[in-house]
Amino acid sequence: MKMFAASFAIAALLCVAPANARGDGRPPAEEIVFRVRTISVVCTGMCPYFGLAVRRDGQVEERWYGIVNESDGEVIVKRWSFRVSRSAAAAFFTTFAPFRPAGQRQFGAPCDTKFRDDPGVRHGLSEYEIRWQGGGAPGNLEACFDDVPVRRAVDRALLLLRLDAYGRRMGAADARRRYARCSRDLDALHC
């Protein structure tokens, strides 16, 4: 009976112990959670709708989203992880550092307002959400595709992870070539 009581007490302590992402008592690793989605009237399959969680150690989790129907909302249609070098992860963090807010920040006008109010927007707008968590004060930035400084940072950051603007993996040589073009041609729509 005493053995049962001791086992129950240990199990109870484990259940009420504070949880963290690592499960080892250390604080969660710093990461940037990035998400892009397109606000559109109709999408023919070329509308970016994906998210990333990038940690400083180079671990990346990518998710592609889809809408099954309006009542169900969005669902994850594909999920996978991959690893990049620590230097690529550090460069990813550095790329977004100038935009890191203390708390919540909307860069420019909200995308849904621009989409509704601007007759020049016919097909849709990509909306970016960049969230910093773990390892410091949290921050959350929201911006639109036409907010050029943020879009340029997004393009560069994705290329550092060897991803195109739609979240698709690409070869190292192609990523380097696009990154070089992105650094030269500041007027390009996408890098």
Most confident of 2-16, 42-56, 85-99, 153-167: 85-99
At residue 175, the pLDDT reads: 74
Written as one letter, the residue type at 107 is F
Confidence of residue 21 (pLDDT cuts 50, 70, 90): very low
Where in the chain are the domains?
31-184
Contact of 170 with 135, CB cutoff 8 Å: no
What is the Cα–Cα distance from 73 to 86, expressed in whole angstroms?
35
Question: Which is more confident, 75 or 155?
Answer: 155
What is the chain written as a DSSP string?
-HHHHHHHHHHHHHHHSPP-SSSSSSPPPPEEEEEEEEE-S---S---EEEEEEETTSEEEEEEEEEEETTTEEEEEEEEEEE--HHHHHHHHHHHGGG--SEEEE-SS-HHHHHHH-TT--S-EEEEEEEEESSS--EEEEEETT-HHHHHHHHHHHHHTTB-TTS-B--HHHHHHHHHHHHH-TT-S--
pLDDT in tens, 104-136: 888 877 776 665 666 555 555 678 899 999 877
pLDDT digits (tens, 9 = 90+) for 162-186: 888 778 888 878 777 777 776 666 5
Q: Does position 14 have pLDDT exceeding 60, yes or no?
A: no
Class for the domain spanning 31-184: alpha beta
CA distances (Å), 116 to each of 26, 49, 113, in order?
45, 19, 5
The residue ranking higher by pLDDT, 137 or 142, is 142
Q: How far apart (Å, rounded) are the C-alpha atoms in residues 21 and 37? A: 26
Global pTM reads 0.72
